[in-house]
Amino acid sequence: MAHKPLESVNEAHIKAKRLLPKDVYDALEAGSDSGATMSGNLAAFTQIGMIPRVGVALPAQLDLAATFMGQQIEMPVVVSPAAAFAMHPDGEVGVARAAERAGTAIGLSNVASVGIEEVTKANSRSFAQLYWSGDRDVIAARVERCRKAGVKGLILTIDLSATRVAYNPRDWGSPVYPDGINLATLVKYAPMAASHPTWFLRYVKQRTLPGLNAPNMGTVGGPVPTLVGGLMEWLGTAVPTWDDVAWLAGLWGGPLMVKGIVAADDARRAVDAGATAISVSNHGGNNLDTTPSPLRFLPSVVSAVGDQVEVVYDSGVRRGTDVLKALALGASTVMIGRPWFYALAADGERGVYEVLESFRGTIERGLVSLGKSSIRDVTIDDLVLPDGFLIDTDLRHTRTTARQGV
């Protein structure tokens, strides 16, 4: 039977839900507490209207090129850092290869199931996420490891409750992560494998098991922590301050994103601390429950920092028109999390590439409908905004340096 490519994030989501064991699916799908924040992230995009234009002559080749933390990318969609445990044996390396093929960048989670060195070999635009975990000596060692691996920049996830995400209570129950693979774990989860044979046979064919280690939380050549062990170190570390961010910026000396900003004054503090990029994000809904969508805060953050840093959007992006709405509100690029999760679970590396290409296609169709030849031509004038979007200055002609410079 001929392969049918995934044509949308929704199609990948449906397939992933069918293939994944319930515990694995629930771990990636549900937001914290009631799930109101995650639902709000999705709803915010549907509440914004777009104004189509007709009769505009457009070139055959539309301009989707952008920059992400100094790296040229072929479209304004970047793989957000998240750990691909038990989704598919292709794992984060497969995601990195798919992103490379699509001409875009990847951020690798600090608690990913593969080492950063493997990912930088698979993608020439690799970035490493750091959680503030362990003391400064431990963090400095991880930074040096990233430097030696050849990463292009660091992504510091700073939002407070996101550092408790693995243990956030959920109204429908929180997933339980086993502390490594052993005989007892195999026996306990055997029914899961038996009831989802397609998912399990993927691992059998590649002669491997779902990874439950966090190699980037350890040192090169040292013992490899389990996911639970890495998370426990993280949970036992005091949350970072702006002084810590400034220390990290000085230590690294290169592109540094502070991820998890929604308030304009926090954005200004990130700039003062040495960040070169900001991600306006609420951790995809795995944060303080009932936090409004960061899309509502994006214009005020852009107004607060101007062209001093790149402003990236992250949370609830599912299609190309979502990307265009975020760009119109001032973002230079967007990052996606659950879309690539769904795609990886649905069809591994190939699925991730197909979903990235679906973003490319829907961005292009959106540009044509708006009568625009370039992503840099999309502005707030192309949108119909509901009440509740924090716009404190006129953004109609405000563009970030990152988009002007492409």
pLDDT above 50 for 396 = no
3 is in an annotated binding site: no
Q: Between 338-370 and 9-19, two packed helices, what is the crossing angle to 10 degrees?
A: 160
Higher pLDDT, 52 or 87: 52
Residue 80 and residue 157: Cα distance in Å, rounded? 11
pLDDT above 50 for 310 = yes
**Token pair of 193, please?**
């494998």
397 is in an annotated binding site: no
Alpha helices (runs of H) in 207-337, residue ranges in sequence order: 227-235, 242-252, 264-272, 298-305, 320-328
Bridge partners, 384 (sequence order): 49
- Report the range out of 69-73, 131-135, 286-290 with the highest average pLDDT: 69-73
157 is in an annotated binding site: yes
66 is in an annotated binding site: no
Residue 311 and residue 333: Cα distance in Å, rounded? 8
131 is in an annotated binding site: yes
pLDDT above 50 for 229 = yes
pLDDT above 70 for 169 = no
Q: For residue 132, what pLDDT band results from cuts at 50, 70 and 90? A: very high
Q: For residue 227, what pLDDT band results from cuts at 50, 70 and 90? A: confident
What local confidence, expressed as pLDDT, does residue 391 receive? Answer: 54
pLDDT above 90 for 85 = no
Model's pTM, two decimal places?
0.90
Lowest mean pLDDT among 45-54, 183-192, 291-300, 310-319: 183-192
- Are 217 and 110 in contact, with CB atoms under 8 Å apart? yes
pLDDT above 50 for 338 = yes
pLDDT above 90 for 301 = yes
What local confidence, expressed as pLDDT, does residue 173 receive? Answer: 59
Range 9-174+213-404 has CATH code 3.40.1400.10? no
What local confidence, expressed as pLDDT, does residue 179 receive? Answer: 60
129 is in an annotated binding site: yes
| CB burial string 319-339: b at 16+ within 10 A, e below | bbbbbbbbbbbbbbbbbbbbb
Strands of 23-70 (E only): list them. Answer: 49-50, 66-68
pLDDT above 70 for 286 = yes
The catalytically annotated residue of 3, 13, 88, 283 is: 283
Q: For residue 167, what pLDDT band results from cuts at 50, 70 and 90? A: low
Please say if 196 is a catalytic residue.
no
358 is in an annotated binding site: no
Counted residue by residue, the chain has a size of: 406
Q: Rounded mean pLDDT of 374-390? A: 89
Rounded to the nearest 5 percent, the helix, strand and coil shares of the chain are 45, 15, 40
What local confidence, expressed as pLDDT, does residue 53 receive? Answer: 96
pLDDT above 90 for 64 = yes
Higher pLDDT, 303 or 389: 303
- Are 273 and 250 in contact, with CB atoms under 8 Å apart? no
pLDDT above 70 for 52 = yes
- Are 373 and 367 in contact, with CB atoms under 8 Å apart? yes
337 is in an annotated binding site: yes
Average model confidence (pLDDT) across the chain: 88
Q: Rounded mean pLDDT of 382-387? A: 90
Lowest mean pLDDT among 134-138, 189-193, 209-213: 189-193
374 is in an annotated binding site: no
Query: Do strands 71-73 and 66-68 pair parallel, antiparallel, or not at all (unpaired)?
Result: antiparallel
Long-range contacts of the stretch 231-237 (C-beta < 8 A, 24+): 231/111, 231/166, 231/167, 231/177, 233/133, 233/134, 234/111, 234/131, 234/132, 234/133, 234/163, 235/163, 235/164, 235/166, 235/167, 237/132, 237/133, 237/134, 237/135, 237/163
**Amino acid at site 9:** V
Q: Rounded mean pLDDT of 395-401? A: 43
What local confidence, expressed as pLDDT, does residue 178 receive? Answer: 65
**Token pair of 244, please?**
């810590």
Q: For residue 86, what pLDDT band results from cuts at 50, 70 and 90? A: confident
